[in-house]
Structure formats: structure tokens, C-alpha cells
Structure 1
Amino acid sequence: MYNPENSGLYEKIWKPIEKSLKDIETVFYSPSGLLNRIAFAAIPNENGQVLSQQYKLTCLGSTRNLSDSYSSVQGQSGMIYGGIDYNTDTITLKKLARPYSIDKQAPAIKNEISRSLRGAAWDYLPGSRSEVREISRIMSEGNMLPKTLLEQEATEESLKAMNGNSASVIHIASHGFSFPATDLYDFRRSQMAGSGHQAYTNAENPLMRSGLLFAGANHAWAKGRSPSGAEDGILTAYELANLDLSATSLMVLSACETGLGDIKGSEGVFGLQRSIFMAGIKSAIVSLWEVPDFETMELMTLFYENLMKVRNPETAFQLSQQEMRTRYYDQPSLWAGFVFIR
């Protein structure tokens, strides 16, 4: 796997510190700047191995987390989302919203979508339905108590209703988005041109440019309008950050590029990754790039099987990624796209 074409990262990032890692087995690292977009587990060295074969790598959202005691999942409850119907009609959305009591202090962002994106739509993810059904089965056999929300029932309200009383594990298999920053002048010009409220694509706040899609999201995304009497199905990182999900030990975002966002020097990534920890969640699994449905389902199935055995999310993830690496060693794009962060 080591060759001149992919050795640049090792030479620039790892080799300078390697002499200080003699006899070290576990490495805690907290990426800065653009390093947040690199899958350290897949960096190849001069011996033909990748770093995850040499070390037990632990990614930290911040070095202050080194002092935190972290081991197993606390509690037995699970909330699982998948097979989501992004075209759920507005009447059904309003009906499904009624049973949920949402804290009025939890922000509800209802933006008009920029005209350049209107007419676009999010496709159904058939693999996500199979994924969450399998995860639900594994959890049940492991003496956990999962609640699985599929199709129309996978609403934004159901997640916001966990504010202050969240599940031990939250798994969301859906579409995610992360838009880059636009020039402030272009942003103001688009506002003057009549594009409406701040759009997800050109919002100044980076937490408004990242998010997850729930039932009925295509109505707001494609038409630029939100339904009255119900959430719009577009959960921004800003909304997530303002929830209290501190009872959750682990959030798994089985979606594309959920680990991305604006990078501000040593302050880290401003996007879904940041919002997860702002909400009080202890750890997360997010993605750095798009991973195909089948391989994502493979990894997630392995992960939950291992989690039920060892009860430690970090160890379970490392074991699962190791197995995926064995299966697809020469294709790191299929096994290294997800990262565990605490």
C-alpha cells in the first residue's frame, strides 16, 4: 500500500513525530485545521502498513478530553432512524408531530432554500432500511431496548423530543449535508436579490450550513417552504447543538460527510461534529467522505455486534474497522471513511 504517490501524508505529518513514539501502542490525537479531514487510520508508512496497524488511534474532539473517564455505554435505550421517506406529505407530517412535546426553547430553523437548489431532492436510501433493521435486531439480542423509526415516522420532532431525556445510543442512517462558506459579499448580494431568509448554502453561521435530513425534508428543500404546524425535516447543526442530549453515550451518523464543516485553525470543525458535543453527547461516529451503502451497512453491522460483546464503543469501532480493513485493505475509501471521536 506504500508508494510514492500516497506517501506524502506520512512524510509530512507522521514521520517527524515517529521517533517520539518508540514502544508506544496507544496514540491520542486531536487534529487541527485541515488535519480534521484526514483519515489517520489509513495513512501508509514506509513498511507497507497503515497507522491503524501500528497503533491504537484515539481521536479526541479536544485534548481536554484526555482527562475524561470514558468506557462503556451508559443505559440500555437506543433510538434508530433509517429508511426515511423524504417525500412524506405535509398532512402526515402535521399528524405525526402532534404526539411529541418539544421544548419551546429548542430552536426551530425554517429557512427558505436558495433558488439554485430548488427543484433538487433527496433520494430514498434503501440500504439504510436494511441497516437499521439489522442494528435493531442486534441491539435486542444484546439486551438493549431499541426504538426504530422508519419511513414517515422518522421525523425531526421525534429527535427534538429527546431534549433533556435522550436515548443511550442514537443511530441516524440518512442523508447529511455540509456546505462550504461563501464570500460575505456574495451572501449579502444574494439577500438583496430576493433569495429570502438565510439559506443553508450561504448562511454566515457554519452550524447552519451542516445538517441531517428527516421525513418530509424534500418539501422544504425542493420548494423552499416549510410546512406549518410541523418541523421541516432539516435538522441543522445549530439546532442539534442547542438540544440537551447529555444522557446519550454515543451518536452514530451513518450519513455522508457528517464529520465535515468549517475549519477554524485550532478551534476544530464547525459543523455536525461540533454540535454533537455541544449537545452533551459523549462520543460519536461520523464520516469524512461518501461511503457506499453496502460497505456502510457492513461496518455498522460489525460495530453493533462488537458493541454488544465489549460494551465499549471505542473498542468496538476499532475491532470493526480492523475487520473492514482486512476485507478491503487496498481500498481505504471503503473502510477508513468513518472515524470515532470522543
Structure 2
Amino acid sequence: MAIFREIGNRNGEGLSLSNIGLTLEKQQQPELAIVFYKQSVNIREGIREDLRKLPREQQASYTQTVADSYRALASLLLEKNRVMEALQILDLLKVQELQDYVRNVQGNERTVKGIELFPQEQKIIQNYTAIQAPVIRLGTELADLRKLQTRTPTQQQRIQEIEKIQAQTNQQMSEFLKSPAVVALSQQIQQTAPQQNLTLSAYKDLQTRLNRLGKRIALFYTLVLDDRLELVLLPPGKPPIRRSVAIKRTELEKMIQTFRQDLQDPSSQVKETAQKLYKQLIKPIESELQQADVQSIIYAPDGQMRYIPLAALYDGKKWLTERYQINYLTALALTKLEPESTHDPRVLAGAFTQGNYNVQVAGQNFNFQGLPFAKTEVEGLGAAIPNTTKLFDKAFNRDAILSKIKNYSIVHMATHAVFVKGAPENSFILMGDGNRINLKEIEEWKLPDVTLVVLSACQTALGGELGNGLEILGFGYQLQRTGVRASIASLWEVSDGGTQTLMDALYARLKSGKMTKAEALHEAQISLITGKNQSSGETRSSVRLTPGNSGQNATISRDLSHPYYWSPFILIGNGL
């Protein structure tokens, strides 16, 4: 590590500190492991901007290593009941995962701070740095000598001298970590850290940010580990709490996949699987939510949880959306939490209503057909909100959207969108003329006045294969990065008529400009659950992986209370 620091390789220094943390963790020294993991995080967050200069292959390898060490640190902190620190790391993990996916995440004044070191931890790092100082000064010299293809005897002798100094320093370091002084500091950390978590500046800052929204809001993070599920909840005005659920990753992911399959089948008895997941995810924090009289949940899912809607969990009497407004989070450090000012919405709405396009992306072949109900959907939107510009089919194209988009507060696109795992260039929105806008392109847009983007016919997890869901939150982040406040997208193929009914209900509530996006979606979903709405059975986002789509389904009438119709739409960003 000393060599890395001397030659300016902060990436390598962060990795070395993380490896020390891992070694100490294996040696059953958790407090010391946490110190070095935290310092590793602080170095890595401080150099986030420099990551963009690395080749893509090196970025991929580096970011995966970083994500793993962030998970290890979060797990340790939770085991030690240092919940606020764990929440900070979980949020920085979201930032890191987004960086892993889109490669363009810029640090800010919050991320660059990393995580605060307690006085005892600062002393350990200071003493450790002092021990390393002699080797640090020799780092560049040793690196240069090792680069030589041929070396003189003198040069070879010098390498041996420096390596001897390194070995002595490593021994000194080992003795330092076992010294009575460090043992005493570790004991102090163990005794005081849980309470010190509530004095952290990050804790006070977070409470202030949430209070600005003026609502009963709870922050909810999950962490999926191999042997357990960790739940972290920050109720309004109260300290964060941690609940650990004894379930293996493999078992949880199997439940998620079964639940998603049931959700996508409008004839399924989905309540049974919905209740099973409720018991894992919500039941452990149910009493805290009720005691705090929570109205809204800001939700940061982990891994495959991103493929299922939290709104569709069932407690035996009600769906979760009937009890709470739910807002998905990309990363708290990247999200502005100021309340939205009220204004009359101005809407730019486009729809792909007729025609047929074949598209090849990343070796996959897609056949897209026009969405018959999309025209009715957009016409209904225009009737609800007078300040609406409507674009259909050929008129709904890239140039039209990009030339007009800055003049509107809401952008609604009733067309196919596909989010696939892998590179963001492979995820795209289909225009009415058959052209595509991919996820990577969106990062160049500047949309400071747009408060909401709606994609009403999205599809994820093609072929039933679940990844880590970063393509879903990656879409939300790319829009967030342009200045868009929030976005709504769907998680699977949805009923065309059902979507129209939900969107009618959504915009009927948004038209006054006085209801938040989260409130409007919450009430729109409830209207489908309780309103006995009927719809034809046309399928939205009728994407197929092989050509030869046989056409539209027969028109039938369906009850829209099944979560297949109302739950796939998730709100990402700040809809509060």
C-alpha cells in the first residue's frame, strides 16, 4: 500500500486498505476491520472522478471489487448495531453499482465525504500512517527499479534493501495492531460506536433533508447477503433500526422469481406469494412503520428485489400500496429532496399506435407492434390536461422530442421500451418512426424543468432471466442526471387497456399541480384495486424474442384489481 500511495495510485491504496480489512475480519477483529474498510471507502469516494479515465475493462473489474468490499463493510456494521454508518455505506453502494452500470456517475459534496471516522478510528489510522511513512518514501524508487528489464548488482541490492525495510514495516504493523493501545481503542469503539452513530453529521443532515419534505416519510434499504437479508429503516424523526431475516440468498431469489411470475399472470392466485414476501420484507418492520404513522416509503432495493414492485406485497388484508405511497430511490446522495413547487403541468405526449418494426439489439431480435390503446391513452391525457402537445406515430420521433422537450414539465411516452442487463446502450425507447433512443444517449440531455418522465410500456428481465436490476435504476438515474425530478416505468408487459385506465387515473390527479407524483400514483393504483374497472385484454409492450408475432389478442373484459394491471409501474427519483 505504501508504494501505491507514493506513486499516486489511490485505486491501489484503496484496494490494499480493503484487503487489510478483509484479513482483520477473518481474524475476528471486526472493529479494526471496520476502521480499514472505512478508510478504503473514503479514498475510493475521493477519487470517483478519476475512475472515468480508466479503460472500461479495468473499470468493470475495479468497481466489482469495490462493491464487494462495501457489502462486507455494511454487513459488519449491521452486525455491530452501527446502523447509521451502515445506511451511509448502503447508499454509497448504490452509487457504486450505478457507476458499475452507466460509467458516468459523478461524485458530489456528499459522496466525496465518504464516511466519518470516530476519534479512536482516526488515531488508529494516524498511527498506521506513521508506521508506513518510511516505506512510502521508498515506493517510487522500488517501483522504478522493478520496471527495469536488466538490473546492475547495485540496483538488485537496492531492491533487496527496500524489500527488507518493507518486511520490517509489515512486522511492525502486525505488532501495532496487536498492541495494548490498539486493543484498548478497539474496545472503546465497540462500547461507544452504536451511540456515536446518532451524533454523526450525516445523521443530522439526513433528518434535516427528510424533514424538508414535510411528510411522514420513512427511508427503507435492503441488503441481500448469502446467509441473510438485512433490513434498515429510518422512521421519521427517529434513529435508524436494523432487522435481520434468516433467509439464504438462493431461497429469497427463488421466492422473488415465483412472485414475479405470478404477478405477470392476471389469472394467478398471487396473494399467497405476495404474503410470503411481505413476511420477509415488511413484517419485521411493520410495527415501526405503524408507530411512526408513516405515509410514504422511500425504497432502495437490492439485487433482484428491483424486479418486483414493493407496492404488490400483501399483508393478508391489504396490498402495501393501500397503506403507503412508495418512491424508489437510485441513491440518496444523488437525489435532491427539496419539495416540489406547485404549478399547472405542461405535457408532451407521444404514442406509437400502429405499424410494425423489427429491431436487433445485442444479438436479440424484437418484433414491436403498434399499441392500439396508446392513442386513446394520449387523447385522454390531453383531455385531462389542456396544456398537452400530442405526437403520434411518424410525428413521434427523436427530432420532435428533442426539439420540444425542454418546454414541458411532464413527458409521456406510450411506446415500447426495453431495459436489458449489461451495457446501457442495449436498453432503449422505441420512437413512433421505428428509430430508438438508448439509455446511454439520455445522459447528454439537459432537462432542468422536467419534473416527470413516464414510460407506459416498458419491459424488463427478458426471457424471464433476472440479473441485478441495475438497468431499471440506471434508467431512473440517467434521467435524474439530466435534471428530471422523477420517472415512472413499468417492470413487465402490461395490459393495454389496463394501462390506459391507470394513466387516466394518474393524470386526473396530477392535473391540478397540487398532488405529488407519489400521491397520484398511489391513488391511481388504489382506484384500480377498489374501482372494479374493466378493460379489453390487449397486451402492452408485446415484445417477443423471436419474429413472427401473430397479432393482437382477442378482446376480452378483465377486472383490473389484480396487481398484474396496477403494480408494475414504479416511481423512481423524488416524487414526494
Shared fold (TM-score greater than 0.5)? yes
Are 1:42 and 2:312 counterparts?
A: yes
Give the superposition deviation at 1:76. Answer: 4.1
Report the CA distance shift for 1:15/1:254 in structure 2 as closer, same or farther (over 3 A). same
1:161 aligned partner: 403
Instruction: Give the aligned CA root-mean-square deviation in angstroms.
Output: 3.1
Give the superposition deviation at 1:311. Answer: 4.3
1:341 aligned partner: 572
Residues in 2 aligned to 1:115 and 1:316: alpha-carbon distance in whole angstroms = 39
Of the three residues 173, 182, 189, the one matched with 2:414 is 173
Q: Which has the higher contact order (CA 8 A, sep 6+)?
A: 1
2:488 aligned partner: 285
Report the CA distance shift for 1:241/1:251 in structure 2 as closer, same or farther (over 3 A). same
* Secondary structure of 1:316 counterpart: helix
Residues in 1 aligned to 2:429 and 2:508: alpha-carbon distance in whole angstroms = 25
Letter in 2 for 1:59: Y
Decide whether the 8 Å contact of 2:325 with 2:518 is kept in 1. Answer: no
1:214 aligned partner: 431
Report the CA distance shift for 1:3/1:287 in structure 2 as closer, same or farther (over 3 A). closer
Residues in 2 aligned to 1:263 and 1:64: alpha-carbon distance in whole angstroms = 24
Decide whether the 8 Å contact of 2:352 with 2:431 is kept in 1. Answer: no
Where do 1:110-121 residues align within 5 Å? 113=361, 117=365, 120-121=366-367
CA deviations on 1:105-164 (whole Å, 9 max, x unpaired) are xxxxxx9755652xx532111110111011112111xxxx2111112100111122247x
2:447 aligned partner: 245
1:223 aligned partner: none
Decide whether the 8 Å contact of 1:85 with 1:216 is kept in 2. Answer: no
**Higher-helix-fraction structure:** 2
Of the three residues 47, 52, 61, the one matched with 2:321 is 52
Residues in 1 aligned to 2:355 and 2:342: alpha-carbon distance in whole angstroms = 31
Larger Rg: 2
* Secondary structure of 1:256 counterpart: strand
Letter in 2 for 1:210: S
Residues in 2 aligned to 1:25 and 1:252: alpha-carbon distance in whole angstroms = 26
Give the superposition deviation at 1:58. Answer: 3.0
Letter in 2 for 1:130: T
* Secondary structure of 1:340 counterpart: strand
Decide whether the 8 Å contact of 2:304 with 2:466 is kept in 1. Answer: no
Where do 1:99-248 residues align within 5 Å? 113=361, 117=365, 120-140=366-386, 145-162=387-404, 165-181=406-422, 205=423, 207-217=424-434, 233-248=435-450
Percent of aligned pairs with the same residue?
A: 22
Residues in 1 aligned to 2:474 and 2:567: alpha-carbon distance in whole angstroms = 20
Residues in 2 aligned to 1:340 and 1:116: alpha-carbon distance in whole angstroms = 28
* Secondary structure of 1:152 counterpart: helix
Residues in 2 aligned to 1:73 and 1:259: alpha-carbon distance in whole angstroms = 36
Decide whether the 8 Å contact of 1:210 with 1:271 is kept in 2. Answer: no
Give the superposition deviation at 1:74. Answer: 4.9
Decide whether the 8 Å contact of 1:41 with 1:52 is kept in 2. Answer: yes
Report the CA distance shift for 1:54/1:335 in structure 2 as closer, same or farther (over 3 A). same
Give the superposition deviation at 1:11. Answer: 1.9
Letter in 2 for 1:318: H
Report the CA distance shift for 1:62/1:271 in structure 2 as closer, same or farther (over 3 A). closer
* Secondary structure of 2:459 counterpart: coil
Matched pairs, number: 272
1:254 aligned partner: 456
Give the superposition deviation at 1:87. Answer: 5.8
* Secondary structure of 2:369 counterpart: coil
Letter in 1 for 2:298: F
Decide whether the 8 Å contact of 1:292 with 1:334 is kept in 2. Answer: yes
Residues in 2 aligned to 1:8 and 1:79: alpha-carbon distance in whole angstroms = 41
**Structure 2: 5+ residue runs without aligned partners?**
1-268, 533-558
Residues in 2 aligned to 1:243 and 1:257: alpha-carbon distance in whole angstroms = 23
Letter in 1 for 2:412: H
Decide whether the 8 Å contact of 1:25 with 1:56 is kept in 2. Answer: no
* Secondary structure of 1:208 counterpart: helix
2:278 aligned partner: 10
Are 1:21 and 2:289 counterparts?
A: yes
Give the superposition deviation at 1:299. Answer: 0.4
Give the superposition deviation at 1:175. Answer: 0.8
